[in-house]
Amino acid sequence: MRLSGTLSLRSLAVGTLAFGTLMALAAAPLASAADGHRVALHGNGQLTILAADGTVQWQRPWGGIHDLHVLENGNLMVQQGPAAVVELDRQSKQVVWKYDSARPAGEPGPRVEVHAFQPLENGHVMIAETTRQRLIEVDRDGRIHHQVPLRVDHPHPHTDTRLARKLDNGHYLVCHEGDGVIREYDAQGKIVWKYAVPMFGREAAPGHGPEAFGNKVFSALRLDNGNTLIGTGNGHSVLEVNPAGEIVWQVKQHDLPNITLAWVTTVQVLSNGNRVIGNCHAGPGQPLLIEIEPKTKRVVWTLDRFDDFGNNVSNAVVLEDPLQASFHPPAEFRDQLGDYRSPLEFPDGRRVQNAQQWQQRRQQILTKWHDLMGHWPAPVDDPQLQILSTSARDGYTEHRVQFRWMPEQTTNGYLLVPDGNGPFPAVVTVYYEPETAIGQGKPHRDFALQLTRRGFVTLSIGTTEATAAKTYALFYPDLDHATVQPLSMLGYAASNAWQALANRADVDANRIGIVGHSFGGKWAMFASCLCDKFACAVWSDPGIVFDEQRPSVNYWEPYYLGYHPPPWRRRGMMTAKNPARGLYPQLVAAGHDLHELHALMAPRPFLVSGGSEDPPRRWLALNHSVEVNRVLGFENRVAMHNRAEHSPNAQSNAVIYAFFERFLGER
């Protein structure tokens, strides 16, 4: 399983919900923090996971720590002794992986301590080593793949570093406790930013409790706005500083009513924007964790468990359900339907009132769109998936495969199968070519690889030849005489990929989903809406409705919904001199939009992983699918997570993987 999860900005909930029938899923509640938060922490010689109601879910005796991660597979990553990093199996509570910085080659060396580590997206682990004054990235076999030298002005094995994190841009944000400085290093070790924690005109005072004072910084997070959030250690405060080093927000020792901050350790930003502060060495009567609303600094939750966990809770992680917020639109879009025509209305004006009527209306919508786009050829019942070559990988097997995805055409792709016994859930990944999804392309687009590391069989496919020819899609029967819109034919090809997976003994045919980004997002959307065999789907920033102001939401192109025989219109925005042709302008003139296709998913769940092309206002279209699901008696079937950029990132992908784990996970 992939080593992943982060301590602060992207903490992940432990485990997955069981998969059952659609009705059972609809009745299953989301993880709730109604009584508090699920929390992983260390205190009084115990590693502990608390349920939201405060009961102990998991516990194991353990020595002191300075860093803690809950991995997406439910395991814990902690330090063992002064210099080893280990992964603890959640079920057996035994060590299943270890790297010892004190004895990297099996022989003792200088005194080295480890106070920070981080599981990375590529399966490696970043470790901060004192004395050697470096960051290293190691694989599961203990091989060092990269190292970054650190600057330390006041060297000491115990204080060279505290928490350190690798950033999305490949840099490293390192807290140097002994120096009282946070430094940002690039991949070669060049310092590109630093911030010295201020003393505010005070003299240093010894000790660990509220009476002590200094600048022994413990933690730092890079926020989405580019600022840095800092837990100042014995500075008794939390600071937010901008890139110029100016303090733009802070919480001081006595700012919170009836709360005294002592050694401020971890800082965490929740999905709702609230901030969680670790309060160590504060003594009896003081909370160990404090959640505040940043604008008002109002305390909304505390963890008051001094009697259970003592005065030395250095590390704690609030375990959020990464999907929790995705099923709920922002207040401004809640229950708003925009100008989209309701899919619940029959052509004669009647409104769907129950599930039986919806089945009639659904068939009308599906038939209408197939009439408009062109009907699919007969399905390929036996795609004849052939294995061309096989490579053993860490935790899975990679097969290069070929199968029939069109009546007279085969394609090559990659089948990734996790180690272990099936049947497994499975996901089809679609893109311009199949290599990106298996980890050979741009960052954060390796959906097949990451899902396989989470226990899914994946089939990665793409339009390699058409992409090279800049025709991108599939044309039936051929490019010059297409009778089906190319985007619809992509959906047809994906339905045959579903069949190729469903025919395998190691795949559960009832648990097959599909995911794609951008071009692949359009492909995944049409495939899952038009083929109800897909149990669920994720569409990453395709542009989920027509939007002629966005050049990437270009459904008018001849390789999507604007097919016409070559020579094609010049690619780009529609103009008077370069208008759309084919079906697309007819769809718009008749008032059709893609929310009608979204409704065909109900009650199957889908997630829009929105970026620049699918901002929160897309809820105006998605709310129509929410309405359809409510008629059917379902909630929490339509989800959207938003990021600013078109490209996926670690946070958006964590939501994608949690979505598949929830809806395709173990029965």
Instruction: Work out whether strand 606-610 and strand 536-540 pair parallel, antiparallel, or are unpaired.
Output: parallel
- Measured CA to CA, the distance from residue 315 to residue 312 in angstroms comes to 9
Span 506-519, mean pLDDT? Answer: 98
Best CA proximity match to 54, nearest among 75, 39, 70: 39
Looking at CATH, the fold of the domain delimited by 331-664 is given as Rossmann fold (3.40.50)
Cis geometry, peptide bond prior to residue 443 (ω within 30 degrees of 0):
no
Range in 40-49, 100-109, 300-309, 506-515 with the lowest mean pLDDT: 100-109
pLDDT of residue 563: 98
**pLDDT exceeds cutoff 70 at 232:** yes
- Measured CA to CA, the distance from residue 133 to residue 152 in angstroms comes to 7
pLDDT of residue 29: 31
Tell me the DSSP string of 208-263.
Answer: SSTT-B-----EEEE-TTS-EEEE-BTT--EEEE-TT--EEEEE-TT-STT----E
- One-letter amino acid identity for 173? L
Query: Is the backbone of residue 438 left (phi > 0), alpha (psi -120 to 50) or beta?
Result: alpha
Length of the chain: 667
pLDDT of residue 121: 82
pLDDT of residue 320: 86
**pLDDT exceeds cutoff 60 at 174:** yes
Whether the CB-CB separation of 123 and 394 falls below 8 Å is answered with yes
- Measured CA to CA, the distance from residue 612 to residue 591 in angstroms comes to 25
Q: Report helix, strand or coil for 137.
A: strand
Confidence tier at 665 by pLDDT (50, 70, 90): confident
Span 550-559, mean pLDDT? Answer: 97
- Measured CA to CA, the distance from residue 216 to residue 96 in angstroms comes to 33
**pLDDT exceeds cutoff 80 at 26:** no
Same fold, 37-321 and 331-664: no
Residues contacting residue 476 through CB under 8 Å, at least 6 positions apart: 377, 406, 407, 482, 483, 484, 489, 492
pLDDT of residue 300: 96
- Measured CA to CA, the distance from residue 8 to residue 10 in angstroms comes to 6
Best CA proximity match to 229, nearest among 182, 288, 162, 172: 182
Whether the CB-CB separation of 161 and 176 falls below 8 Å is answered with yes
**pLDDT exceeds cutoff 80 at 125:** yes
pTM over 0.85: no
Span 139-164, mean pLDDT? Answer: 97
- Measured CA to CA, the distance from residue 42 to residue 605 in angstroms comes to 37
Instruction: List pLDDT tens digits, range 40-99.
Output: 999 999 999 999 889 999 999 999 999 999 987 789 999 999 999 999 998 899 999 999
Confidence tier at 502 by pLDDT (50, 70, 90): very high
Report the b/e string of 361-394 with b at 16+ CB within 10 A: bbeebbeebeeebbebeeebeebebeeeeeeebe
- Measured CA to CA, the distance from residue 400 to residue 153 in angstroms comes to 52
- One-letter amino acid identity for 170? G
Q: Sign of torsion, CA 551 556 559 561? A: positive
Residues contacting residue 342 through CB under 8 Å, at least 6 positions apart: 351, 624, 627
**pLDDT exceeds cutoff 70 at 574:** yes
Half-sphere exposure of 31 (CA within 13 A, CB side): 25
Instruction: List pLDDT tens digits, range 353-366.
Output: 999 999 999 999 99
**pLDDT exceeds cutoff 60 at 7:** no
pLDDT of residue 136: 98
**For all residues of the chain together, what is the average pLDDT?**
93
Percent of the chain having pLDDT more than 70? Answer: 94
- Measured CA to CA, the distance from residue 533 to residue 496 in angstroms comes to 10
pLDDT of residue 667: 56
Tokens (6 digits) for 390: 């096989």
In eight-state DSSP terms, residue 160 is: S
- Measured CA to CA, the distance from residue 324 to residue 386 in angstroms comes to 40
**CATH class for domain 37-321?**
mainly beta
Range in 28-42, 130-144, 377-391, 404-418 with the lowest mean pLDDT: 28-42
Span 268-292, mean pLDDT? Answer: 95
- Other CB atoms within 10 A of residue 186 CB: 14
Span 146-160, mean pLDDT? Answer: 98
Q: Sign of torsion, CA 484 488 490 495? A: negative
Best CA proximity match to 325, nearest among 551, 521, 616, 545: 616
Q: Report helix, strand or coil for 356.
A: helix
Instruction: Give how far Cα 161 sits from Cα of 101, 157, 164, Å.
Output: 14, 9, 8
**pLDDT exceeds cutoff 80 at 22:** no
Percent of the chain having pLDDT more than 90? Answer: 88
Tell me the DSSP string of 615-656.
Answer: -GGGHHHHHHHHHHHHHTT--S-EEEEE-SSSS--HHHHHHH
Domain ranges of the chain: 37-321, 331-664
**pLDDT exceeds cutoff 90 at 272:** no
Whether the CB-CB separation of 37 and 301 falls below 8 Å is answered with yes
**pLDDT exceeds cutoff 80 at 555:** yes
Instruction: Give how far Cα 165 sits from Cα of 128, 465, 560, Å.
Output: 9, 40, 42
**pLDDT exceeds cutoff 70 at 18:** no
Confidence tier at 106 by pLDDT (50, 70, 90): low
- Measured CA to CA, the distance from residue 501 to residue 413 in angstroms comes to 12
